[in-house]
A = this chain, B = another copy of it.
Amino acid sequence: MTAPLHEGHPTGPGRALPDTQQGMRRRNLARVMHTVGAEGPLSRASVASRIGLTRAAVSTLVDELIRSGLLEELGPERPGRVGRPGSALAVSGRGPAGIGAEVGVDHLAVCAVDLRGEVRARAVRHGTNRGRAPGPVLEELASLLRLVVADAEREGLWPAGLAIAVPGLVAPDARTVVRAPNLGWHDLDLGALLPAELPLTVDNEANFGGLAELWLGEGTPRDFLHVSAEIGIGAAVVVDGRLLRGTRGFAGELGHVPVQPDGPECACGGRGCLEQYAGEEAVLRAAGLEPGEDRVGLLAGRAAAGDESVRQALRDAGTAFGVALTGAVNLLDPESVVLGGALAALAPWLLPSLREELARRTAGPACAVSVSRLGPEGPLLGAAHSVVRTVLDDPAAVAERG
């Protein structure tokens, strides 16, 4: 009876359910969950009017969701208007939880997020993973995982799935890391190396960062570019609330957009790619610094301290970003561009020249550029929330397991 969830990469609300009565029921259950989850405590009547069903129908849907423990009744609303007050419904703080994990270059992190979207447990281990063998790293990750799951279970949660963000390219099976240069990993099936108790999804951390921005960002934008720079310079392209992956899963390679067609050669085969001007290495070199351990922290620190050569290097990088983003904005006409991940920390010195360049090249009002408020937490939260979304997208599937 379970639908094929977790197939391929996580995407937006899955319209994969068949157009049969049971499929309809499941979609309506999902719509109730989403509505209550997104718009706070709501009465049955308001849910009904929002999703276009009758109160009676919503009543039965809600009954089923309450019996499954996915929704809970908070009791009568405070009556402000005329008429009988409704009974407030809220997404349950117990039951299934999404487990998110991140394998960063300099840390490991795991967290548990409940259906309400709140982080209920977390564990972090700092220390570089650059060049370490995958085995020990994943064993360490598994121990953090056990810790977080135990914490979550103490709070009445049970793990509904695990999503892992990695700094590299992931195969379409959503399990295999094709290559993660900064870790030195390649062709690694994480599913085979981790305890297989949970449905597993692996994805690029830039993608999870973009999804986090989509689900948790300010103003709930549905069309934007989320630019981050952990490995190279990547952008998550979100169109109409869906992450654009491309036919081969290579979409968002902003780092290899040509900025100066006859510029220096790039490893990708091209010339004058954005990465040659705004990549980590290029900026460090332009600033006259040696590549060390915490490169981004080093840059941010020097810039904050007033180091003019670092500031100039970042200004130039911002200008290059502006050129590349002009192309992207002309092509996609997004609502906004959001700087996330490591770029968020450098934003104060990147933004002015970036915005200036973008505005200079745009007729009319330029596309808004902002900084993600999620900062470096994005990918981890996005991963955990992606699991939560699968539950919200098909509550009936999880009710059977609970």
Q: Could you list which residues of chain A lie within 8 angstroms of chain B, going by C-beta atoms?
A: 15, 18-21, 24, 27-28, 31, 51-53, 223, 235, 237, 239-240, 242, 244-261, 267-271, 323-324, 326-328, 330-335, 360-363
Contact = CB atoms under 8 A, between A and B. Distances in A.
A256 B20 contact: no
B28 A19 contact: yes
Nearest to A244: B239
Contacts of A271: 361
A51 B327 CA distance: 41
B250 A333 contact: yes
Given A19-B28, A326-B258, A333-B247, A270 B360 contact: yes
A223 B246 CA distance: 7
Nearest to A23: B24
A247 B334 contact: yes
Nearest to A330: B253
A361 B323 contact: no
A52 B18 contact: yes
A20 B237 contact: no
Contact of A27 (B19, B53, B324, B361): B19
B326 A253 contact: no
Given A19-B31, A28-B19, A327-B324, A237 B332 contact: yes
Contacts of A235: 331
A246 B326 contact: no
Contacts of A251: 331-333
30 contacts: A19-B31, A21-B21, A223-B246, A235-B331, A239-B239, A239-B244, A240-B242, A240-B244, A244-B332, A246-B333, A246-B334, A247-B333, A247-B334, A248-B333, A249-B333, A251-B333, A254-B331, A256-B326, A256-B361, A257-B330, A258-B361, A260-B261, A267-B363, A268-B362, A268-B363, A269-B360, A270-B326, A270-B362, A328-B331, A331-B332
